[in-house]
Amino acid sequence: MKPARIPLLFDRRRLALAGHLFKDPVTAHVKLCFVQANPFVLQGKDGGMATFARRDCRNDTLWDWLCAEGAGMGVASHIDSDGHLRLSHASFGTFKLRPTSQDFLVFDEIVIQDGYAIAAMPDTLETVLDIGANCGVLSTMMWRKARQVISVEPVEGNYRQLCANLSLNGRPLDYAYKLAVGKKSGEILEIYTDPNKTGCNSSIAALLDAAENSNTVEKVPTISLEDLYRKAGAHRADLVKCDIEGGEYDLFEGATDATLLRADRYAMEVHLFNRECLGRSATIAERLRHQGYAVECSKSAAELEQQVNAGRKPIFILTAQRSKA
């Protein structure tokens, strides 16, 4: 128990929300003030059993936000019969989030932190590519702005959640593909998965220590970026968002310059899982600059090198914007 969180016990908003969602609101209120690594189960008012644990799931930070800013915004919440937390608001739509997964982490990154600067994008867009769509938070939000959102997610559980969230918001599933974007089409990619780390599935064992920690391996067909445009009948994209846990190198190294130039903006997580990635990520940035994109990185080259030298596996956000003129 962290002493700094004791004042949360006296927060009436938290107790009121627990009373709205759970059959035993007092127990739920106390437990959700002190989310620990060990999971615990709370029963929703409609009988759904929701399992919570901090781990890497952001259960604690999501709940803190929901009880404070979320309540102030008027975010509606409900525990569904399947134990998923349903959140609804006019600004982002409706999402079903799996409490024991990393759906809360994804929601935090995209909705709360606005990590991909969605709020600053124009209200009317033509096409968005969401590569590594996970549970569909960004895809669902971008359908509110774009005429077409192409969602690609290789992992079965995440893909099902993506489709559920798209359907929940009345969005079509025509452009939701269970594929892995890579250097070329027609290959089979092995992806290490962990049901408790649904935001970190990767084909890179070194990135996840997957050989020791992963529960399963899923085999998924690949598609190149060029073929993805062709499959979806899209000619260009206002935004390509990419978060594919180390797969970004194959995607960019396999794409021609002409294919890369079909997007006005890139926003992607870049994962440095070994020293070689320092050079490979710098090459991607330089290639985009050479094609006329203004490139920004959320961490400096010196900071990243220092972290790699210390044995860490840093992640940073690379954004690239090309003038339409």
Same domain, 87 and 164: no
User: Residue 27: inside a domain, yes or no?
Assistant: yes
In a domain, 84, yes or no: yes
Structural domain tally of the chain? 2
Average pLDDT over residues 109-128: 92
Q: Where a domain ends, among 104, 124, 139? A: 104
- What is the arithmetic mean of pLDDT over 74-83? 93
Distance, in Å, from the CA atom of 321 to the CA atom of 150, rounded to the nearest integer, reads 19
| 212 contacts: CB under 8 Å, gap ≥ 6 | none
**DSSP 8-state class, residue 68:** I
What does the mean pLDDT of the chain come to? 90
pLDDT at 211 over 50: no
Identify the domain boundary among 41, 74, 104: 104
Query: What DSSP string runs through 116-169?
Result: T-GGGS-S-EEEEEEES-TTSHHHHHHTTTEEEEEEE--SHHHHHHHHHHHHHT
pLDDT value of residue 228: 98
What is the per-residue pLDDT for 325? 54
Instruction: With a cut of 80, say whether residue 58 has pLDDT above it.
Output: no
Task: Give yes or no: residues 80 and 134 share one domain.
Answer: no
Residue 252, pLDDT above cutoff 80: yes
With a cut of 70, say whether residue 115 has pLDDT above it.
yes
Asked if residue 316 has pLDDT above 50, the reply is yes
- At residue 93, φ and ψ (nearest 5 deg) are 95, -150
Q: Residue 206 — very low, low, confident or very high, per pLDDT cuts 50/70/90?
A: low
| Predicted local distance difference test score (pLDDT) of residue 210 | 46
Both 308 and 174 in a single domain? yes
Helix axes 301-309, 276-290, angle to 10 degrees: 160
Torsion 249-255-257-262 (CA) sign: negative
pTM score, whole prediction: 0.91
End-to-end CA distance of the chain: give it in Å, rounded.
56
Strands 265-271 and 239-242: parallel
| pLDDT cut 90: percent of the chain above it | 70
Q: Are residues 147 and 80 in the same domain?
A: no
Q: What is the pLDDT of residues 148-170, one digit of tens each?
A: 999 999 999 999 999 999 999 99
Name the strand (E) or helix (H) holding 188. Answer: strand 188-193
Q: Which tokens hold the place of 217?
A: 């391996």
Report residue 212's pLDDT band, with 50, 70 and 90 as the boundaries.
low
Check whether residue 164 and residue 249 sit in a common domain. Answer: yes
Angle of CA points 315, 321, 323, to nearest 5°: 175
Q: Among 104, 128, 147, where does a domain finish?
A: 104
Give the burial class of 4: count Cβ atoms within 10 A of its Cβ; 0-12 exposed, 13-18 middle, 19 or more buried: exposed
24 and 97 fall within a common domain: yes
Same domain for 118 and 100?
Answer: no
Q: Which domain holds residue 152?
A: 114-178+226-322
Please give the share of the chain, as a percent, with pLDDT higher than 70: 94
Q: Is 48:29 a contact under the CB 8 Å cutoff? A: no
Distant-in-sequence, close-in-space partners of 302: CB < 8 Å, separation ≥ 6:
none
Q: Which CATH number do you get for residue 162?
A: 3.40.50.150
User: What pLDDT shows up at residue 9?
Assistant: 94
| Residue 160: φ, ψ to 5° | -60, -40
**Mean pLDDT value of segment 221-227:** 97
What's the pLDDT at 3? 86
The whole-number pLDDT of residue 36 equals 77
Per-residue pLDDT, averaged over 244-267, amounts to 94
Same structural domain, 35 and 172: no
Rounded to an integer, what distance in angstroms lies between the CA atom of residue 225 and that of residue 177?
Answer: 13
The single-letter DSSP state of residue 8 is G
Stretch 83-92: mean pLDDT: 92
Per-residue pLDDT, 57: 62
Q: What dihedral do alpha carbons 287, 288, 289, 295 form, nearest 10°? A: -130
Residues 82, 171, single domain; the answer is no
Identify the band that residue 324 occupies on the pLDDT scale cut at 50, 70 and 90.
Answer: low
Segment among 149-158, 196-205, 303-312 with least mean pLDDT: 196-205
Lowest mean pLDDT among 44-48, 215-219, 311-315: 215-219
How does residue 231 score in pLDDT terms, banded at 50, 70 and 90? very high
Do residue 95 and residue 62 come from a single domain?
Answer: yes
Which residues lie below 8 Å from residue 323, measured CB to CB, with a gap of 6+? 292, 294
180 and 221 in contact (C-beta within 8 Å)?
yes
